[in-house]
Chain A
Amino acid sequence: MSPPAAAAAVEHGERRARSRTPARPLTAPRRPRRVSGPARRGQTARPLLPGRQHAAAEAASAQGLLRALRSISDRPLLDRLIRGRAWIAIVAFALIGIVTLQLALLELNAGIGRALEHQQLLQRENAALSIEDSELAAGERVESQASRLGMELVPQGALRFLPAHPGSDIARAAAALNAPAASAEASGANGSATTAATPGNTTASAGASGEASSAGAASSTGAASSAVEAAGAATPAAGGGAQSTGEAAATAPARSEAHGAEAAQAPAATTTPASPAPATPAGAGAPAGAEAAPAGGTRAGPTG
């Protein structure tokens, strides 16, 4: 007959105690039991270490979060939402959206790749064009092209700069305005090379009204030839002045006030060719923002 379970357990426990731990004296002092309540006076509570404080705070916040989640899951509203059939549509829409987005992204990347290739191509073409542009603007080349078209460099000393008389020049220029000749009008209408039409490439001449000038050829090119451009471009606007084509240009009065100075006169022999001509060598490279005309007179333009 086996002993009752409780008795057996007690007996087994006693046996273990006897076999493992030596006997302790019964008079051993017991540790004082912790008493809850405020700390007694004279005793200071040991503060928690900063690390432990932090851990305790984290544990508290995690527990709070868990409680909050639990409370959300218990809400009937959420239950109704999850069980609704609309979710099927939402999830399906989201899945399709994700796939579509991915496809669009792939397409976009492929487009970027193509754009990069195109950019490189354009960069290359741009560089090539810059090089070509610089080569074409070389003075030697322009000079040879111009000489083939019958142009020649203005001899040294041929340039003359006339003194300006702001008080009287405008009135004299206005008085010298003539009605445009019929032939000049016709040629202007036909689109012949007027200085206004081709200010950058034209060798023009302008007659300053009554102001005798010994200037030789006043070959003007580009923006540097301010006085001559003034003659060509400003004349028609100055009240139906002559179109500055060919011979007409030789008699066209300059709007000297356009540059506050008189325009240079040049013989008709050096007037504009009927067709637009390339720039003279020096003028081809004339700086667009070339130095402004000096106060004492205007410049007939660099001609090389």
Chain B
Amino acid sequence: MPLVQRRIGLIFGFFFLLLVLAAGRVVYLGVLRGASLRKAAESEQLSDETVTAQRGTITDRNGVDLAVSEPAQDISADPYLLTDPLSAAARLAPLLGQTQASVLTSLSERRGFVYLARALPARQAEAVLALKIAGINGAPVMRRVYPRGSLAAQVLGMVGTEDNGLAGLEYADDAILRGHSGQRRVVSDALGQPVSITETHQVRPGSSLTLTLDTNIQQRTEDVLGAVARVFDPKDATAIVMDPRSGAILGLANWPQVDANQPGVSPAAAMEDRAVGFNYEPGSTFKVVAVSDALNRGLITPETPFNIPDQIQVADRTIHDDTEHPEETLTTAQILARSSNVGAIKIGALDGAPSFNEWVHRFGFGTPTGVELPGEEGGVALPLESYSGSSMGNLPIGQGELVTPMQMATAYAAIANGGILRRPHIISAIGGRPHPLPAGRRIMSSTTAAEVRHMLEGVLAPGGTASEVSIPGYQLAGKTGTASKVDPTTGEYSQSAYVASFIGFAPAADPKLLCAVVVDEPQSGSIYGGTVAAPAFGQIMSFALSYMGIAPG
């Protein structure tokens, strides 16, 4: 064989050998180790990232943010991967805002996963991850922040660690606020740079909620309630400020206050929104129902005189007026102004049980008002069949039925609004789209409403039960209420536990603002609506009227 041919053969053989080696390598990598290498490549280059949907913001009527979501991270650790837990704890503790001991305790757990911090602000989380400690990981989440702290905390509610609403509007409108998280698949190169990004599930951020609340009125209302609490040391208190013309709630305060950013610090009961969740016997504030009925049917006028003794017998019950007095003659207006129990019972007797009962329900008592707040109670309004012989001796004076502060405010708003009852509302827009104004229904004639309004002015006039309250330039109207609470141990009305309340509006002739203040069990100072709740009403209204630019009248 010639030399050339031999060399060609050698070269061919060499390349053939190389080809065989390459084929063998391909078989080894692609078949024998194929599965493990594929997994390794996927874990290093391919990642499915969850794109957390940003929860919608909650703003007040002027666009002031009340609840905002910001990016954050859940910081977790795999203690098995930590080589030096002590050193890691020392480096992590200041960034996590925890003690070194608590971090070390977490890192020393015999588990493969432990949370070090939930919803840590993004900057802090980045600083933690920048330490590049093996076994320390971060998962993107959203963190709910309430910039005003305790402002309207019970109204706004709170959000859980999984970004789900747990209370308040956060709970009631969770579906609107939450949105839908998305997912994207990211393929990265050897340097970690993304070379392909595919959105497998589109993220849909939550819609924003615009409330009818006004932060300044809300703040002032909460301040006033706080002051009431300092003086009278009540069990709790609530106040509602409303535009009676539209039913828009401008302020809704609860005491005790809760820091919305740290709800766990306060007792669970403090998170309750008492404006809709507190059932109480309204007392004298309920007297307008019997009076409205009789006026609307033409049975009485504001000037109709009534012979008012100190007490009255109804079936087996004897009902007294609040203070002893000789038998006297009072007009309807004076009965309301002085809050005469005997007078209200006499007017209720004129109405008759069926008509009175119909008017109780006409005002909306016994059913929730329908305001967009969760946990609203409906109160208790007895059906006519359940009336006893003495029912008309206590129902017209606000005993024997249960109402919520929101129901009372709504009923008085109907009087202020010319006899048209409108569902109260606290949401003015969703996702920027205005929420339709709730339709109203007439429950009494405008004449009757005007007469009741005029009579309620007498409550704040000299001789009325809230005569010490006034706002210069403004004609106020309202009604005090001081209701005994039922002692659960005896089943009788307590001699020490009362609910003091005041509901009023201004300007009396053309009301544009309404305020209801309900103080539960004032312990010190006084127990009367005229001295506990009415001054708070005056302070709130004094601010709100000028703030809203409402002309005196």
Interface residues of A (CB under 8 A from B): 106, 109-110, 112-113, 116, 120, 123-124, 127-128, 130-135, 137-140, 154, 156-157, 159-161, 224, 282, 284-288, 290-291, 293-294, 296-297, 299, 301-304
Q: With A296-B551, A302-B546 in contact, do A134 and B66 touch (Cβ < 8 Å)?
A: yes
Whether A161 and B552, one on each chain, are in contact in the complex, defined by CB atoms closer than 8 angstroms, is yes
Show 20 A/B contacts (Cβ-Cβ < 8 Å), sorted by A: A106-B195, A109-B197, A112-B197, A113-B197, A123-B54, A124-B70, A124-B123, A127-B68, A131-B70, A131-B147, A139-B220, A156-B472, A157-B472, A159-B473, A286-B547, A287-B214, A290-B548, A291-B550, A299-B550, A303-B546
Q: Name the residue of chain B whose CB is nearest to the CB of A297.
A: B551
Minimum distance in angstroms from A154 CB to a CB of chain B: 7
In Å, the complex CA distance between A7 and B548 comes to 126
Q: With A133-B65, A134-B64, A302-B549 in contact, do A139 and B195 touch (Cβ < 8 Å)?
A: no
Q: Name the residue of chain B whose CB is nearest to the CB of A102.
A: B195
Cβ of B471 within 8 Å of any chain A Cβ, yes or no, is yes
Q: With A296-B551, A302-B548 in contact, do A109 and B196 touch (Cβ < 8 Å)?
A: yes
Instruction: Write out, one digit per residue, whether chain B residues 528-553 have a CB within 8 A of any chain A CB (1) or not (0).
Output: 00000000000000110011111111
Cβ of B496 within 8 Å of any chain A Cβ, yes or no, is no
- List residues of chain B with CB within 8 A of the CB of A137: 64, 215
- List residues of chain B with CB within 8 A of the CB of A124: 70-71, 122-123
Cβ of B62 within 8 Å of any chain A Cβ, yes or no, is yes
Q: With A134-B148, A157-B471, A302-B547 in contact, do A127 and B196 touch (Cβ < 8 Å)?
A: no
Whether A304 and B471, one on each chain, are in contact in the complex, defined by CB atoms closer than 8 angstroms, is no
- List residues of chain A with CB within 8 A of the CB of B548: 290-291, 302
Q: Tell which of B68, B189, B549 touches A131, judged by Cβ atoms closer than 8 Å.
A: B68
Whether A130 and B68, one on each chain, are in contact in the complex, defined by CB atoms closer than 8 angstroms, is yes
In Å, the complex CA distance between A293 and B216 comes to 20
Q: With A109-B197, A127-B70 in contact, do A161 and B547 touch (Cβ < 8 Å)?
A: no
Cβ of B194 within 8 Å of any chain A Cβ, yes or no, is yes
Among A120, A156, A303: residue with most chain B CB under 10 A: A156
Minimum distance in angstroms from B330 CB to a CB of chain A: 32
In Å, the complex CA distance between A299 and B545 comes to 11
In Å, the complex CA distance between A282 and B547 comes to 6
Cβ of B193 within 8 Å of any chain A Cβ, yes or no, is yes
Whether A139 and B68, one on each chain, are in contact in the complex, defined by CB atoms closer than 8 angstroms, is no
Q: Name the residue of chain B whose CB is nearest to the CB of A112.
A: B197
Whether B148 and A138, one on each chain, are in contact in the complex, defined by CB atoms closer than 8 angstroms, is yes
Minimum distance in angstroms from B15 CB to a CB of chain A: 26
Q: With A154-B546, A160-B473, A286-B547 in contact, do A130 and B71 touch (Cβ < 8 Å)?
A: no
Q: Which B residues from 439 to 494 make CB contacts under 8 A with A?
A: 471-473
In Å, the complex CA distance between A112 and B185 comes to 13
Given contacts A124-B70, A134-B148, 14 further A-B contacts (CB under 8 A): A112-B194, A120-B71, A130-B147, A131-B70, A139-B220, A159-B473, A159-B546, A160-B552, A285-B64, A288-B62, A290-B549, A294-B551, A296-B551, A302-B547
Whether A299 and B551, one on each chain, are in contact in the complex, defined by CB atoms closer than 8 angstroms, is yes
Q: Which B residues from 71 to 105 make CB contacts under 8 A with A?
A: 71
In Å, the complex CA distance between A287 and B213 comes to 11
Cβ of B391 within 8 Å of any chain A Cβ, yes or no, is no
| Shortest 10 CB-CB contacts between residues of A and residues of B | A157-B472, A127-B70, A113-B194, A134-B147, A285-B216, A299-B549, A134-B65, A161-B551, A302-B547, A294-B551
In Å, the complex CA distance between A159 and B550 comes to 10
Cβ of B57 within 8 Å of any chain A Cβ, yes or no, is yes
Minimum distance in angstroms from B208 CB to a CB of chain A: 11
Q: Name the residue of chain B whose CB is nearest to the CB of A132.
A: B147
Whether B543 and A304, one on each chain, are in contact in the complex, defined by CB atoms closer than 8 angstroms, is yes
Whether A110 and B195, one on each chain, are in contact in the complex, defined by CB atoms closer than 8 angstroms, is yes
Whether A139 and B471, one on each chain, are in contact in the complex, defined by CB atoms closer than 8 angstroms, is no
In Å, the complex CA distance between A286 and B62 comes to 8
In Å, the complex CA distance between A124 and B72 comes to 9
- List residues of chain B with CB within 8 A of the CB of A109: 194-197
Instruction: Write out, one digit per residue, whether chain B residues 306-320 have a CB within 8 A of any chain A CB (1) or not (0).
Output: 000000000000000
Among B57, B189, B216: residue with most chain A CB under 10 A: B216
Cβ of B172 within 8 Å of any chain A Cβ, yes or no, is no
Whether A116 and B219, one on each chain, are in contact in the complex, defined by CB atoms closer than 8 angstroms, is no
In Å, the complex CA distance between A294 and B71 comes to 45
Minimum distance in angstroms from B209 CB to a CB of chain A: 14
Minimum distance in angstroms from B211 CB to a CB of chain A: 13
Q: Tell which of A110, A128, A134, A304 touches B546, judged by Cβ atoms closer than 8 Å.
A: A304
Cβ of B371 within 8 Å of any chain A Cβ, yes or no, is no
Q: Name the residue of chain B whose CB is nearest to the CB of A298.
A: B551
In Å, the complex CA distance between A116 and B203 comes to 13
In Å, the complex CA distance between A224 and B543 comes to 15
Among A130, A297, A299: residue with most chain B CB under 10 A: A130
- List residues of chain B with CB within 8 A of the CB of A135: 147-148
Whether A282 and B66, one on each chain, are in contact in the complex, defined by CB atoms closer than 8 angstroms, is no
Q: Name the residue of chain A whose CB is nearest to the CB of B140.
A: A120
Q: Tell which of B54, B123, B195, B215 touches A285, judged by Cβ atoms closer than 8 Å.
A: B215
- List residues of chain A with CB within 8 A of the CB of B66: 134
Minimum distance in angstroms from B135 CB to a CB of chain A: 24
